[in-house]
Structure 1
Amino acid sequence: MNEALPPSLHSNRMEEGGRLTEDVPSAYAFPATFIIGSKRTSAPLVNSAQLKGHLALLHAFARLRQRVDGFDGYVKQAIPLMPDDLERRWAWFVGLAVERFSSWCLNLEFYDIYEKPIEDVLPPIDVMMVWHAYMLNPGWYVEDCDRLPILAHLKVVGKVFAQSLPRLSRILISEPSDIRVRNWDWRTRRLFDPLEDAIRQVAKTIYCPTCRCPLQAPLMTSEGQGYLQQYFGIRCPQLSCKDQPTITKDVLGARKLAEDLVRNDGTISTYLAGTLQTPLLELDIDLATLVKDKFLAASKFARPRKSTEEQWIVSILRKTHYRLDKIKEAMTRRFDRRIVPRIMSAYVSDHPFSVELVGAVLRQGSFVKKMHDLLWTRPDFFQSREDEVALQHAVARYHAFLDLMSSSPVSFFVPTLDIDLAWHTHQLMAYNYNEDCRTYVERFVDHDDKVEENQLSLSFDITCRAWQNRFGVRYAHCGCPLPGETIGQKLLRLISSYTQSPSYLVPPDRPDLLAATHPSDHNAVFAMHQQKSGERAQAARRRKFEKRRKQEEQLIKEGKLDPRVAERTRAHEQAFLVPVPIYFMYGPVMVGCAAGTGSFVDSSGGVGGGSSCAVGVGGCGASGAVCGSSAGGSGSGGCGGSGGGGGCG
């Protein structure tokens, strides 16, 4: 492994008292290339300029959330059904943004892409927020853009957007151009400002699953049955539909799935969502064909004699009582049940997208908040070259993370916040990301958008040990801040103590930057189907977390712990410790992805079989706590996920 690592950067001359001499370079010696698995990159897969563009985007998202939270009495008067509770209000607003994103996707034109600069094509920031969350589900995003003709233009705009990431900071600090606003208004027939549009847009056109007549579904009702609310339901007034159940999101999703089962137009659109993109093949037509043929052999999906495609669709709906669970039951009888949940997750509403985008945006909110709270999204935070070293360090750690994943294809690995930032940035370049994964990791690495929180603790411990074994440095860092005026100086001082390890993996020692090596938890969800065991695990983690805090307070009183270190710990929310699943999804190549494979951990580590609700996270590598005191002991657990995109009424 040693020949795969760029040489360490060492501080060769230091004055007494720890001051750097002039012979020490002020900038971080950032590697020009990285080794991932058995191959060396020709250049970094992501760079600090792209990270800055992404951070500018997150800054805009954070400001948008602040604006929505601050909606005043005038807005409440104009939108009387807008929720007062801030979390419900945000869910309502995100629901509106998803509708606006859908309108934008469906109305993009060739001229918009090839005749205009990106700053005149970009949609409003709320729509960009939804697009951003969509791209952070890279497996679904790439497959959808290839499979769905209505997303063909989005695919091309996405490539232009990826090339423009380094310029995004400048674009976002400027007022939207008149051309950009007019282009949006003309294409979507909606107002550019999301608040003004929210006042005007009060209903959504849906189509009856049986007779296909258009229906105006209110977005919000006082009874909580609007399209954006948890208990959405509407009846079709046509007499021919009197026996049809109330139209809900599930019923609309069943219609969408029945349409895809019936479709056979000789194009890639013929195949079901979730069956084309696999870790080893970008388009596995053979698998997708096999899956669909197996499903269509089910009696409930049989085509009535002399029926049209529309009649066939309605026949499937009636035989399954317009219920997704009945369709799932029929599918599971015909094919490997492991693929069915993935397919079904793409059919939860009438939107064309295979990702439930409201929930995706809400889950990303936690990550946006953490980047904002760390001040990383502040426009001037990485202005100097010395301070930019923190972003270079994140890029270096991300490449190491990819190398770690290439070493063990059947394991969960948990990114830290800094790695997750670089990883997310890479995913915003969707087709580069797809190609890079297949070239260097030798399979597609999907970003699991939601993971049950009780799966996570052991996975983070495995990641820490694997990282320590492979690179010889700790994965997450804690300890007292070292002297130094700038981030760059602190990095040089810190890495001088690492004489055998790759120094570009050692972080600058500043509390708000060390905090970025905290586990990234934004995708954690609570397992409602295992509620009792989940609550017990949460309670156990909370007890350990509180015990650790009391120990820290005692150590501070005894003068054995720097209060600044403890404060950094307390500033963190408890981590959910989200793993990255590396898995083969289908048929004979399905490989289990339990957290504790232990296949790459040395015998002293003793990582055993996978436990889905291990409590506490042990040391990173040799010993010590994840994000806090050197008192070691209990790791930070997690409780209470942000959940999916539930109702807001």
Structure 2
Amino acid sequence: MSKLLRRVSTTMSDRPPSYVSTDDPPPPLDPAPRALPDFPSTYQVGISRDVRFVGVGDVKSHLVLLGAFRRLRDEVEAGKGGPQAEGGVPLEPKARWAVFVQVAVYRFELLVRALEKSATELGTLTLPLDVALVLHSYLLNPLRYDEDCVRREATPWFGMPNGESLERVARSIDFETMTQRPPSPSDSRRWLKLTLHPYDPLDCFSTINGRQLLGFEEFKDHFVPWVTPEGAGYAQQGFRIEGPNGLTLTHEVLGVAKFVHDFATSVQSDTPVGGTVTSSISAPERTHNSRRAVWVRDRLMKHLQDVKTPLELGTRLGWSQEGLRKMLREALSGRERGVRNIASCYTRGEPFSLDLGSAVLRQGTFIDKMHDLGWTRPGRFDADDTLLQRCVARYHAFLDLMASSPSSFCVPTLDIDLAWHTHQLKPAYKLDTLLATARFVDHDDKVEEGALATGFDVTARAWKSRFGVPYSTCGCPLPSQPPLSRLSAKLGISASARDTFPTSILTTLVPSSEDSDATHPSAHNALVLPDHPQAQRKRAARAAEVDARRRRDDKARRKAGAGEMRDGLPPYEKRAEGLSTRPDAHAYAFLAPVALVPVYYGPMGYPASVGGCAATDGNHASSQTGAACSGGAGRCALFLNPVSFTRSLPR
């Protein structure tokens, strides 16, 4: 399987495969209307029978949230409030949204800390929409979210906000305006008491100019502005501020300081460091049940036994990710996967195992896709929800495919991704996937484009072999086309699921239909490595393959005659010529290079979105710097009893 996933696309020296398989002819463009299928009430997924993990009502509720999130972003980008750039000039729209997201993460952090400090429960409090936006992206990184919850077992009364909180938020949305209705007086008072911030996100954005560095005794008096004329604000790439002991604080330094605190806490209370508890094959409910966490803790304590104080440890690490990774490699005997999992939890100072701000920005691309499809439009599915029924059926088949095959890297289409995201918002997601597939299915939203291209190809061929129907019917060709029988033999796939998932409930509309856009691969802005030689070679090969396909198709049309040239266009080329209202939504299923998206936007350095989407087994794709993706095992207890940098480490 690993060899299969390393396979590269065909190049111009090879004859490009046809955009459709010879044993899989395309449906006619104007068929007779199909009879609507009878969708089953339950499905069989792997070894689980009679299950229905997500329903149409759940998907509709999720779409309401996505529509409200998109409306909130539009309001923020068009607004006049919030921090100002140099010279008092209002921030550009994308920069405004990036800063707003950082404020929302801070508000979510304040809520979490307030709930953790006492036995206070969230109860029936309806979260503000911006905080719900952050929680939504947090839940879409299920391994990280789960481990963060498990590592907080030292505070047994604490309950992390979960998908039930998002359900209350969805019910608070006005369907006509896609805005959140004003909170009740009790919700407004309770929120103010917990966070000391106004409930309304836009009011808060206009009044709060920066944040405190919470969770660190040494930094608690430091107030950091969101933006500065020099680009050194907390929401900017060049964040830096002078700290104690002559230390210049940056996001990297705060991340290493978080590791220092967590290691000191692990020595004192047996709470393991981040990235060591939850994985796709080991998802314990208690940290002491994780053999990996105990093994890593023991190795770290032995390796760092000569370190006397947290300050000494930070200095030894150079307060840098490079120093942290070097130490971890030495302590873990070069186990690179473990090094990546742990170090990726400590890139920033917030008390979460991933960069929630970047996670929100990445998910924004998927929200845009749903908006472009028209699926977030009020009343879109009131009269006919067949598309959502099929979306639910295809998602259960997607899970069944993962359960049936040793393949652990599956790339969803947009409709499957929507149902998958909806399932991840449910508290039962972890147990559901463990029972059905024998592993905790992770959702990796930060995958390099070449890996997505190959993974989508593999997923599409495996789907066709198992269910006997095309995976995607949006009209885009696959990145490559290996012989189906050889692929099936490698994956060990059988056709036994065709009775459980009959053709009528899995096939979608024909390529001439706009609604077939929903079966386009869900790349939502794949991660591009612009300076990575291997990634550049693969990108060039895919671009060459597109050119070869076009020349071949053009030659076939000329041979057919001038009168038939226009009608002879394949569906993906027809979309490119404007027959679709969204031609940019059809980028040849990863064949063409995706647009380069900078990690930071603008000269002042505001974060921009990156990331693709795939199901993984916890072996995460990494960036060129070696940082693990946002989808993996995570971090962290919320600095319970923070240890002073100068205090001696207990032994």
Is 1:415–2:416 an aligned residue pair?
Answer: no
Aligned pairs (5 A) from 1:148-187: 148=152, 155=159, 157-158=161-162, 160-161=164-165, 167=171, 175-179=181-185, 180-187=187-194
Q: Quick one: distance in 2 between partners of 1:533 and 1:159? A: 40
CA-CA distance at 1:343 after TM superposition: 0.8
Distance 1:152 1:91, change over 3 A: farther
Q: For residues 154 and 205 of structure 2, what CA distance do their matches in structure 1 show?
A: 25
Decide whether the 8 Å contact of 1:575 with 1:638 is kept in 2: no
The answer on 1:69 being equivalent to 2:70 is no
Q: Deviations over 1:257-284 (max 9, x none)?
A: 011112147867x111111112222125
Structure 1 residue 249 corresponds to structure 2 residue 257: no
Asked if 1 retains the 8 angstrom alpha-carbon contact of 2:410 and 2:455, the reply is yes
The 5-angstrom pairing of residues 574-613 of structure 1 reads none
| Aligned-partner SS, 1:355 | coil
Alignment of 1:260-271 (within 5 A): 260-264=262-266, 270-271=271-272
Partner of 2:197: 190
- Report the residue type matching 1:97 in the other structure: A
Hey, what does 1:228 align to over in structure 2?
235
Q: Which residue of 2 aligns with 1:601?
A: none
Q: Kindly tell me: are residues 211 and 372 of structure 1, through their superposed partners in 2, closer, same or farther at Cα, counting changes over 3 Å?
A: closer
For residues 260 and 159 of structure 1, what CA distance do their matches in structure 2 show? 27
Is residue 509–residue 516 contact of structure 2 (8 Å, CA) maintained in 1? yes
Contact 2:119 2:158 in 1 (8 A): no
Query: 1:579-617 CA distances to partner (integer Å, 9 max, x unpaired)?
Result: xxxxxxxxxxxxxxxxxxxxxxxxxxxxxxxxxxxxxx7
Q: Deviations over 1:311-343 (max 9, x none)?
A: x21120122222232121011012122111111
Partner of 2:12: none
Residue correspondences, number: 531
Is the 1:52–1:169 Cα contact (8 Å) retained in structure 2? no
Distance 2:145 2:586 in 1: 27
1:396 maps to 2:390: no
1:66 deviates by 1.1
One-letter amino acid matched to 2:433: C
For 2:528 and 2:250, how far apart are their aligned partners in 1? 24
Q: 1:146 aligns with which of 132, 136, 150?
A: 150
8 Å Cα contact 1:521/1:575 also seen in 2? no
C-alpha distance 229-373 of structure 1, shift in aligned 2 (>3 A): same
Distance in 2 (alpha carbons) for counterparts of 1:178 and 1:286: 46
1:87 to 2:94 alignment: yes
Question: Within 2, Cα distance between the matches of 1:399 and 1:125?
Answer: 30
- Offset, 1:80: 6.3
**Higher relative contact order by CA 8 Å / sep ≥ 6: 1 or 2?**
2
C-alpha displacement of 1:640: 2.5
* Equivalent in 299, 312, 325 of residue 294 of structure 1: 299
Residue 150 of structure 1, CA deviation: 9.3
CA distance in 2, matches of 1:79, 1:231: 15
- Kept after mapping to 1: 8 A contact 2:251/2:347: yes
* 8 Å contact kept, 2:267–2:301: no
In the TM superposition, what is the alpha-carbon distance from 1:127 to its structure 2 partner?
1.4
Match of 1:314? 311
Q: Distance in 1 between matches of 2:390 and 2:307?
A: 58
Superposition RMSD on alpha carbons, in Å? Answer: 3.5
Of 463, 466, 475 in structure 1, the residue corresponding to residue 459 of structure 2 is 463
| Ranges in structure 2 where 5+ consecutive residues have no aligned partner | 1-30, 477-498, 558-563, 608-651
Contact 1:81-1:221 within 8 A present in 2 as well: no
- Distance (Å, rounded) in 1 between the aligned partners of 2:379 and 2:171: 15
1:519 match: 521
Question: 1:360 maps to what in 2?
Answer: 359
| TM-score, reference length from structure 2 | 0.74
Q: Is 1:640 the equivalent of 2:596? A: yes
For the structure 1 residues 178 and 645, does the alpha-carbon distance in structure 2 shift closer, same or farther, using more than 3 Å as the test? farther
**Is the 1:133–1:361 Cα contact (8 Å) retained in structure 2?**
yes
The answer to whether the 8 A contact 1:453-1:641 is kept is no
SS in 2 for 1:338: helix
Tell me if the contact between 1:542 and 1:638 (Cα under 8 Å) persists in the aligned partners: no
Identity %: 35
* Structure 1 residue 516: Cα displacement: 0.5
Offset at 1:636?
4.8
CA distance 1:274–1:548, change in 2 (3 Å):
same
CA contact (8 A) 2:345 2:354 kept: yes
Question: Structure 1 pair 50/643, CA: closer, same or farther in 2 (3 Å)?
Answer: farther
- Secondary structure class of the residue paired with 1:507: coil
Counterpart AA for 1:32: S
1:327/1:198 Cα in 2 relative to 1: closer, same or farther (>3 Å)?
Answer: same
SS state of the match for residue 41, structure 1? strand
Measured after TM superposition, the shift of residue 130 of structure 1 is: 1.0
Does the aligned pair in 1 maintain the 2:266–2:297 contact within 8 Å?
no
Contact 2:414–2:518, Cα closer than 8 Å, also in 1:
yes
Counterparts in 2 of 1:265 and 1:344: CA distance versus 1, 3 Å: closer
* AA in 2 matched with 1:294: R
The answer for the alignment partner of 2:509 in structure 1 is 508
Unaligned runs of 5+ in 1: 1-16, 305-311, 481-497, 577-616, 618-625, 627-633
Contact kept in structure 2, 1:206 and 1:216, CA below 8 Å: yes
- 1:92-112 residue CA offsets vs partner (Å, 9 max, x unmatched): 221121111111222237555
**TM-fit CA distance, 1:182:** 2.9
1:508 to partner: Cα distance: 3.5
Query: 1:104 aligned to 2:111?
Result: yes
Aligned residues of 2:85 and 2:228 also touching (Cα < 8 A): no
| 1:194 Cα deviation from its structure 2 partner | 2.4
Answer with 513-522 or 551-560: which moved more.
Answer: 551-560
Amino acid at match of 2:513: P
Partner secondary structure for residue 214 of structure 1: coil
- Provide the residue aligned with 2:425 in structure 1: 428
Of residues 312, 322, 347 in structure 2, which corresponds to 1:325? 322
CA distance in 2, matches of 1:208, 1:458: 42
Partner of 1:571: 582
1:331 and 1:452 mapped to 2: Cα distance?
25
Length-normalised TM-score, structure 1: 0.74
Aligned to 1:11: none
Residues 354-375 of structure 1 show CA distances to partners (whole Å, capped at 9, x for unaligned) of 0101111111111000000100
Deviation (angstroms), 1:501: 4.6
Q: CA deviation at 1:454?
A: 1.9
1:569 Cα shift? Answer: 6.5
Query: Cα deviation per residue 1:290-312 (whole Å; 9 max; x = unaligned)?
Result: 0111122224x6343xxxxxxx2
**Residue 638 (structure 1) shift:** 2.9
**Amino acid of the residue matched to residue 233 of structure 1?**
R
In the alignment, the residues of structure 2 paired with residue 313 and residue 444 of structure 1 have an alpha-carbon distance, to the nearest angstrom, of 35
Once the two structures are TM-superposed, the CA of residue 224 in structure 1 deviates from its matched residue by 0.5
Are the structure 2 counterparts of residues 261 and 30 from structure 1 closer, same or farther at C-alpha, using a change threshold of 3 Å?
Answer: same
Alignment of 1:425-504 (within 5 A): 425-429=422-426, 431-478=427-474, 501-504=502-505
Contact 2:252 2:348 in 1 (8 A): yes
Q: Secondary structure of the equivalent of 1:32? A: coil
